[in-house]
């Protein structure tokens, strides 16, 4: 029999009451607390906590606290990237962030989804789809990226945009839902 955690990681519908899922949530909560309450005078200590929390943290990458996630282990961030204050990365599925990515304050990367139908939603079923930000993406402040979205290389997403579907490389996208409004050379 497949565990709920295995179903979750496979992107299949699951219920989050599995003991392994609950244990992973607790681990992440403890590490986020350590990171979010750490001293700004201890950058090496902060990095050590992030390396323990996240699946991968590239060289010269920085995240400003407070930072919030579900599990941490499903997040991979490439080198030389920056995540500003109040980021929320709900990593029920994989979140993959490339190199040289800039993420503004209050950005949300949301991999979980829930059934539209009322009965399975009432029964607490959920699932998730991965999010990918390619190299050199810039997400302005308050951007929300929804489950299953890929943002192409060099793309800029304007502040407050809601990204509901894939964005191609080398564009500027704005709005709700986000739409390309300009090509970048």
Would you state the pLDDT for residue 86? 98
CA-to-CA separations, 111 to 74, 145, 154, in angstroms, rounded: 10, 8, 22
Write the secondary structure of 111-136 as one string of H (helix), E (strand) and C (coil). Answer: CEECCCCHHHHHCCEEEECCEEECCC
Check 7, 114, 129, 179 and give the catalytic one.
114
Q: Kindly report the three-state secondary structure assignment for every residue of 33-66.
A: HHHHCCCCCCHHHHHHHHHHHCCEECCCCEECCC
Provide the pLDDT for residue 1: 64
114 catalytic residue (yes or no): yes
H helix and E strand count, the chain:
4, 20
Q: What pLDDT sits at residue 16?
A: 87
- Name the packing angle between helices 43-53 and 19-36 (round to 10°): 170
Domains of the chain plus CATH, in order, are: 4-183 (2.160.10.10)
pLDDT at 166: 98
Q: Give me the residues paired with residue 183 across strands.
A: 171
Instruction: Walk along the chain (185 residues) in steps of 10 and give the mean pLDDT of each run.
Output: 85 90 96 97 96 98 98 98 98 98 98 95 94 98 98 98 98 98 95
- Characterize the bridge pairing of strands 95-97 and 75-77: parallel
The whole-angstrom separation of Cα 55 and Cα 61 is 14
Q: Residue 87: how many CB atoms within 10 A of its CB?
A: 21
């Amino acid at each position: 029999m497949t565990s709920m955690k295995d179903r979750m990681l496979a992107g299949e519908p699951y219920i989050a009451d599995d003991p392994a899922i609950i244990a992973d949530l607790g681990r992440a909560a403890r590490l986020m607390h350590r990171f979010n309450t750490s001293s700004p005078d201890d950058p090496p200590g902060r990095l050590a906590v992030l390396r323990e929390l996240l699946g991968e943290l590239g060289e010269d990458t920085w995240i400003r606290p407070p930072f919030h996630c579900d599990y941490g282990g499903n997040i991979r961030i490439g080198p030389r990237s920056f995540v500003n204050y109040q980021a929320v990365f709900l990593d029920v599925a994989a979140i993959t962030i490339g190199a040289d990515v800039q993420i503004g304050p209050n950005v949300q990367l949301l991999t979980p989804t829930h059934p539209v139908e009322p009965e399975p939603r009432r029964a607490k079923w959920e699932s998730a789809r991965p999010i990918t930000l390619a190299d050199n993406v810039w997400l302005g402040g308050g951007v929300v990226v929804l489950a299953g979205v890929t943002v192409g290389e060099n793309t800029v997403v304007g502040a407050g945009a809601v990204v509901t579907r894939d964005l191609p490389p080398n564009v500027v996208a704005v709005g709700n839902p986000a739409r390309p409004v300009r090509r970048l050379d």
